[in-house]
Structure 1
């Protein structure tokens, strides 16, 4: 070999060595960059396409705020009073364990495992996809009227910023039956009035002037004194005093329209960025009610007669436990209070990271919700006892349910206390924060379902949220009329009634019997590990949940549902067409469950048996949303397709993992060609 050739070979060898060294260096930098990016991805959103909660506490507070709502304040205390006082705690606790927590845990697990909302999480059996549609319809119907109640709270909040509460005494807006205008007297002859056999006192012209026996006048003449706060609610706020019923809606009240608009603007602004924005708002809205409840309880037990109310609340009447209606009320209240089978729990948990402890959250939120109901009862009945003592009325005549308890009894009670506007402001702020948390999730359930069914809408999340809120606002305008209270009562009775019980039974059947309870238990273990709550072995408690989902829960819910049909009574004072409208709302949900199943059966090719096999077997996309989690499922499911979308290469690196931009010439990244290195030498 000549000297020139040897020099060329040596030079070429040096060039190759230099090129190899640079390639190795760039390759190491590239791997380091990829590892850093994957680490940052794990620390941030696990699912970049849908997003995740900012932290575990965001999800927990959102769940708690969704479960703890206005029903804890106005419905649970009334049910305790009506169903045997402290004895009601027994069926309530039993139904919590047999029905409430199992459904709650099932829905959290399903949403977290699939990272999908209620409309798209049923890919394990397409035949049951209508369950999700039914949930979305229920959430939509409830969202429309629930925000109107928040609008009422806004109205009262603004009206409370005054030196004297406007409902503290009868005004020119009150009727002749208002408390100040119709006194209760021991002897009518003291003013030369005539005492009638009906318990009333009449003057010489036959005009009603007073009552000497209110119980008698109520039973015989239907005459009862009305609190100024009740007259204020009916004649000033709602205008229901000027309506003859649901058939006489009357004009729209612009004050209520503005309050309803404010409530929807607040909801839209909070949800505009999805769970990232709502997850921060709940730090205030989910915790503030507890602060106010504690303050109100301390003030309540300092009032005269509070013992009377609390004794009335907790004194048990064990004979009531033999009444089937008590058990039905307990089960229905569990569903109403936990918002189970409404789709919101699936929507919330779908934004969890895959390995979140769903069992811990289900247990804590369920127990926290029920303890909140119990605690709120002590607060409310301490004021009812005070009001009963102050007015010298039986507590049975003071204790009411629904809007009457929240917007009549308590507002009037605070007028009897010093600095009454302050206590009114605190109470109505608490009502707003209690309500908006539940409203957030109701709307989030709808928007999540839309974005899951039409993924392209995720790019326009704010527009999607604002559009849904605008539609719900327009649908709720009938609730701002004089007869809006009657329409709200109709929707509250029928929108989320026994149709929700049908949804829960279908859920249990779909998961435990069609998909398979053993596989679902394995899916849960894949997510949360072999220990739940950090120390409880999953193998010990999983068989209890299997028994609940296969038999106990669906059987209990079915019994309650059948008894609800048997014990059905029409709404008092409503025409037949109104009942028909209510049943239409109920059956829209039922049709939403079963019509998709019928459509799938019609369009799926094959015999009836083949159709059922196809529609009750998981689709290839069923399972976790991320390939790395689907690999965990493949360990216990034979022939499981790990990557049906082709998102990752055979080495498990997704294209997004190596999309590293060059910041300078020597930065790690793919280089265009070997000539690049030659130019650098």
Structure 2
């Protein structure tokens, strides 16, 4: 047991006695290095990556910014009493012999090393002791509080990680204990997710979006039903999951968004700008789709759904109810447009081999007429845009206000909103699934979905569509994965989260296909047509086919409300993630905007709302289809390809895998290295080749776009990736003109001194690169965080010497040298 005598304060002695000893023979005190001061507002983080020794925290009430000082640990000796005192100048002095304190600080037991020591901490004296087993250390504390208070402190939920750097080389150490404490932010400047589930649900909500419901079923239909599932699963394994893991690990390691995470290869910072532009442009039309769902939801709160019959003001003579065949008797009125008139009630005639539309035009369901004539007021083409519809404009404003309110408080708010928006769609999907499989004809739809047509596997288009769907669904290349993962704690198991979310996204797409095709089978049964004849792509599937199926169900209002609520929640959490990537990219690059984050997200919302207003016009659907086809197609594949090549061959795949090992405590599997270096890049190149050879212009139904609209689409496609060469030329031009172009390029492919983890205590774990700068923030007046925004980016290239010192350390005798990295 340890005893305390005297009172705490300047010039007062602390007499401590102990039973077991390592002794101290050198007592020259010195302030702790690389730390931020403790304040009266503690708890704060205490100790970054510390050596064994005696530490003292001075009286907080007398020192608003107290220093933590330590005595270096020396060889053990026989048991002795120790006397510690604080001199008038605040320095720690001791008697010639120091003993080992045995009273634990907060909890009993040995702690594995190397570790960091996390707070909350109290003022007092702390001793870090060495045990006979060099792989373990223990920590003790003594202060002048009574025993009751000391016992109460044992119950505090804190982690205490102690570094034992003098015992063994880093190769011989056990990995750090990576148990996470949620609640308090690890990175106080930037913030962290409140809990791991917040991150998992946010990532799942980002990946599982509207495309899983309307795009995946259509691709299954177009590519042979079940035959599409095999290429989709293979593309997930070879492209989707590897790139998902690559981006999530990148964001977590450096705690940076998509615009500032490229300090490991500054020449390619244009990739971050391309990601930001793609996410921003996609957010414009994605929120329009959410608006459609919101307005359809409001329209569903009626006893009779507005798209359920043909006697509305927006219906035409071509409207025909899709009911079972009804034969007209001789007493009933004539039936132009394939419709019998009896008692002022329309009864649709569906079998065209018996009854033909006398106008010679195709029959149109009331659902489709409601969509085109009433909801959209669809014009003749993109040349005839018209004025915004006030219902759509107000609905779009509502959607943007909703996004703003959820994003204004940052990830703390969105991390809780996704508990509803990410989970609710699964509840509705399960309800719809059990309802769908009980409908007549559902078995035919499911049979079409799961039974493969293996001849289609020889078609390159099937594999291309599967790979493109993986990019759309899982989200690599957009920057959202980097942005969301950047708010993780450093030692979060990003590998586990990547696998869970990736599999969850794939399973959701496949399960959603069962739900959709059960209803499509029922519709085909009611229409007396084949399943593939009722499937359309894009918005037509969500707002024409599904509402048509819903109106034939018992309690159609209930099913309509559930379905459109599901669409809203599917869309809103994906929209959150895309906007968060834009916001994170801007604020990370311009850190002075961080205190004005609410104003920034307000400005972003206003600008993107105004840019989305043209899509609320009668010609807005043509604009939306054009953007959906071009904004993130070619550019998305190009960004994904360059990203994986830069990390694998310029930064160095071995170096990157070592970075991941620091976070996880174990090296990644060899499989990921093979995928990142060879498999994924080769497949993306093949996809780009086939997409170019098999290119076909965009269409909306039977409407073909004019040449100027095609040109506009290509401009939207490359407005993002064009910044990759622009930034390259800008960076090269900024370098010293005396250097050759090759030397400039080589230098710009070398990590800057600010590259690495954001917190200094995590940067100390990077021991696989000689010359790595542990505390670049010290030069900028910040000893705890590393500034990685615009100012840091400019400062990191301010002098050739600062870059060269990093590069020389990186390319010489480090464990993972530049030459061996690839």
- Please give the range of the TM-score, normalised by the shorter of the 2 chains: 0.7 to 0.9
- Alignment partner of 1:88 is 2:215: no
Equivalence map 1:531-610=2 (5 Å): 538=667, 541=669, 543-572=670-699, 573-605=704-736, 606-610=739-743
Deviation of 1:295 (Å): 0.6
Identify which range, 22-31 or 250-259, moves more after superposition.
22-31
Distance 1:64 1:79 in 2: 21
Deviation of 1:180 (Å): 3.6
Equivalence map 1:304-319=2 (5 Å): 304-319=440-455
Q: Per residue, is there more strand in 1 or in 2?
A: 2
Aligned to 1:488: 624
Aligned to 1:75: 215
Aligned to 1:478: 614
Identify which range, 306-315 or 355-364, moves more after superposition.
306-315
- Alignment partner of 1:126 is 2:266: yes
Aligned to 1:639: 771
Distance 1:557 1:145 in 2: 26
SS in 2 for 1:117: coil
Deviation of 1:601 (Å): 1.4
Deviation of 1:182 (Å): 11
Distance 1:148 1:438 in 2: 13
- Alignment partner of 1:414 is 2:521: no
Equivalence map 1:147-226=2 (5 Å): 147-170=287-310, 171-180=312-321, 214=352, 223-226=361-364
CA pair 21-183 structure 1, distance change in 2 beyond 3 A? closer
- Alignment partner of 1:51 is 2:194: no
Equivalence map 1:615-626=2 (5 Å): 615-626=748-759
Distance 2:12 2:780 in 1: 29
Distance 2:324 2:255 in 1: 62
Identify which range, 613-622 or 306-315, moves more after superposition.
306-315
- Which of 9, 12, 37 in structure 2 is aligned with 1:21? 12
Aligned to 2:436: 300
- Alignment partner of 1:508 is 2:658: no
SS in 2 for 1:342: coil
Identify which range, 484-493 or 181-190, moves more after superposition.
181-190
After superposition, what is the alpha-carbon deviation per residue over 1:566-606, rounded to whole angstroms, capped at 9, x for unaligned? 11111231101110110000110120222101111122121
Aligned to 2:466: 330
Report the RMSD for the aligned CA atoms in angstroms. Answer: 3.2
Deviation of 1:305 (Å): 1.4
Deviation of 1:27 (Å): 2.8
Aligned to 2:133: none
Deviation of 1:200 (Å): 7.8
On the 8 A contact 1:494/1:585 being kept in 2, the answer is yes
After superposition, what is the alpha-carbon deviation per residue over 1:66-101, rounded to whole angstroms, capped at 9, x for unaligned? 000000000111111111111111111111111101
- Which of 27, 36, 46 in structure 1 is aligned with 2:120? 36
CA pair 218-374 structure 1, distance change in 2 beyond 3 A? farther
Number of equivalenced pairs: 620
Distance 2:743 2:611 in 1: 43
On the 8 A contact 2:320/2:349 being kept in 1, the answer is no
Distance 2:410 2:372 in 1: 37
After superposition, what is the alpha-carbon deviation per residue over 1:450-485, rounded to whole angstroms, capped at 9, x for unaligned? 100110111011111111011110000000000111
Aligned to 2:529: 393
CA pair 419-617 structure 1, distance change in 2 beyond 3 A? same
Distance 2:324 2:389 in 1: 32
CA pair 157-645 structure 1, distance change in 2 beyond 3 A? same
After superposition, what is the alpha-carbon deviation per residue over 1:510-536, rounded to whole angstroms, capped at 9, x for unaligned? 100000000000000001111xxxxxx
On the 8 A contact 2:205/2:574 being kept in 1, the answer is yes
After superposition, what is the alpha-carbon deviation per residue over 1:149-200, rounded to whole angstroms, capped at 9, x for unaligned? 00000001101111111111112211221114999777999979799xxx98
Distance 1:548 1:568 in 2: 27
Deviation of 1:224 (Å): 2.1
SS in 2 for 1:118: coil
- Which of 229, 237, 249 in structure 1 is aligned with 2:375? 237
Distance 1:425 1:641 in 2: 57
On the 8 A contact 1:117/1:448 being kept in 2, the answer is yes
On the 8 A contact 1:214/1:224 being kept in 2, the answer is no
Aligned to 2:416: 280
Structure 1, unpaired ranges of 5+ = 1-14, 204-208, 531-537, 655-681
On the 8 A contact 2:324/2:527 being kept in 1, the answer is no
- Which of 41, 60, 74 in structure 1 is aligned with 2:200? 60
On the 8 A contact 2:8/2:14 being kept in 1, the answer is no
Distance 1:55 1:34 in 2: 18
TM-score w.r.t. the length of structure 1 is 0.85
SS in 2 for 1:589: helix
Distance 2:229 2:303 in 1: 41
Structure 2, unpaired ranges of 5+ = 1-5, 16-55, 61-65, 69-104, 106-116, 123-157, 160-179, 342-346, 786-822
On the 8 A contact 1:201/1:212 being kept in 2, the answer is no
On the 8 A contact 1:282/1:437 being kept in 2, the answer is yes
Deviation of 1:214 (Å): 3.7
CA pair 460-48 structure 1, distance change in 2 beyond 3 A? same
CA pair 566-118 structure 1, distance change in 2 beyond 3 A? same
Distance 2:691 2:316 in 1: 38
- Which of 254, 264, 267 in structure 2 is aligned with 1:114? 254
On the 8 A contact 1:347/1:448 being kept in 2, the answer is yes
Equivalence map 1:352-501=2 (5 Å): 352-501=488-637
TM-score w.r.t. the length of structure 2 is 0.71
Deviation of 1:379 (Å): 0.7
Q: Which structure exhibits the higher relative contact order, with contacts defined as CA atoms closer than 8 Å and separated by 6 or more residues? A: 1
Aligned to 2:150: none
SS in 1 for 2:203: helix
Equivalence map 1:655-670=2 (5 Å): none
Distance 1:627 1:175 in 2: 70
On the 8 A contact 2:225/2:451 being kept in 1, the answer is yes
Distance 2:449 2:289 in 1: 25
After superposition, what is the alpha-carbon deviation per residue over 1:265-289, rounded to whole angstroms, capped at 9, x for unaligned? 1111001011111001000000000
- Alignment partner of 1:247 is 2:378: no
Distance 1:18 1:281 in 2: 49
Distance 1:487 1:108 in 2: 33
On the 8 A contact 1:176/1:182 being kept in 2, the answer is no
